[in-house]
A and B are shown apart, each in its own frame.
Chain A
Amino acid sequence: MGSRRDSTHDPQQGRSEKLTPDEFVALYRQAYPRLHLIATGIVGDRTQAEDIVQESALIALEKLDQFEAGSSFGAWLAEIVRRTSLNYARKLRKRKTIVSDPHLLEETREVHNTQPATWPINDQTGSLSKEQSHFDDELLRALNGINPVARCCLLLRVVQNLTYAGISELLQIPEGTAMSHVHRSKRILRRSMEKKHDPKAGASGDKK
């Protein structure tokens, strides 16, 4: 854990002066990857996450005088992104409609799941299998089944390499909660992928 780089380092933290416009843009640019991951984690859509982060930046700009000099700019921005994302997700849930018979959709999914399982590593050569993209698709599907906050924690930990203290600050949750979200999410993903891709099986999915 000690080797992890704490990406939440915020040069604004501890300063007492107000931000200049250039500083605002520079700090926003620095925080952008994390903000984008938070929005993606909550709404589950990368493209939509981009719009949400941009909208959040404009909201932050309007509320810039509410930002307390000396506190973490990244955490302040992350809070705005989180709220904007949750609002978006809430609106989306309200207008979500079932386009077809849900039982029919479930049956279709089951048919899809009976396709030959694949494992991304070739046991003999150790190279990537051609089915890697299928693995990625399955993984994304499993990821979408995880609770949004847990998904944020997982992505910030694995993708952004953040410490649990950093995740705690950004998402305003205790460090222990962030850690258990990450561990549980990893376990869920492993179990989900295990069912579909038996590592002991070959590319065809047959047991050796």
Chain B
Amino acid sequence: MSDDRNPPTEEQIEAYVDGLLSPSEREAFEAQLHAYPDVAAQLELQQWIDAALRKGFPPAQPSAVHLERLLVSTGSAVTRRFAQVAMLAVAAALGGVIVAWQFMDRPMDRPREEPFFQPRPVAEVYRETVKNGFEPYYECHDDERFAATFQKRQGIVLHLAAMPAGKGMLGLSYPGGLSRDTTAMLCRVDDQPVMVFVDRVENDQPIAVENDDSSLRIKREVRDGLVFYEVAPAGAVSVLEYLISDAAVKPQAGL
């Protein structure tokens, strides 16, 4: 391991005091200790340190009182867990009963009831949208996805024609208004917020056009089975002409 010219290294000393040397290595290490009194003194000191640590930290045992309390807690924890499981089982059973009752109460041929929806004036929806920052739910800048959205919600494909400078589409929102399927297009026209609500004609509602705010202009248009409501500040330029249905595009393409 080491000789007179190579005294034991720190690593060898650590390995020795830690009991990590093999019997032959230990023997060789101990054989040369007489040549290195400093190392021998360190080993002796380490033995004292280890002994003092063992004496200073005798194996601790939990007190009887603590164990007793723990046993009581163990019992209550088990009881509590049992109660939780039991409550979950009761809740699941109740849920099952409610679901079964609903199925029994509703004949299979009865039409599915739609969730409650209240039509609202589009001007009111516009004001709310402006108040909330005039941000669309969906920033749609892809022509195909734009068309697909209207096809899915209104059943009719709509395209957005290129807008001139000063006019731009921000995106689409689904804020309600005429029906829960109403789709709204948010635009900026000369920095003014403009909103176009689109829905199927059969979803049109008299309340939609109600407006007691003279600073807002509402423009209604019906074409290609769709109804359009444009809400904008009074005097703002309309963008309705840029919304073109598939039916209107195809004849033009044929020309």
Residues of A within 8 A of B (CB): 1, 3-4, 21, 24-25, 28-29, 32-33, 36-37, 40, 46, 49-50, 53-54, 57-58, 61-62, 64-65, 120-121, 135-136, 139-140, 143, 154-155, 157-160, 179, 182-183, 186-187, 189-190, 193-194, 197, 199-200
Contact = CB atoms under 8 A, between A and B. Distances in A.
Contacts of A182: 18
Contacts of B53: 139, 143, 154-155, 158-159
Given A1-B20, A28-B70, A36-B60, A186 B46 contact: yes
Contact of B54 (A3, A140, A158, A197): A158
Contacts of A58: 70, 73
A79 B71 CA distance: 21
Tell me the interface secondary structure of chain A in the complex: helix
8 contacts: A25-B70, A57-B70, A61-B73, A121-B44, A157-B18, A186-B49, A189-B49, A199-B45
Give the size category of B's interface with A: 35 or more
Contact of B14 (A25, A187, A193): A187
A25 B44 contact: no
Contacts of B67: 25, 29
B50 A29 contact: no
Interface string B53-95: 1111101111000110011011101100100000000000000
A202 to B, nearest CB: 14
Leading 4 A-B pairs by shortest Cβ distance: A21-B74, A36-B60, A183-B14, A33-B59
B49 A139 contact: yes
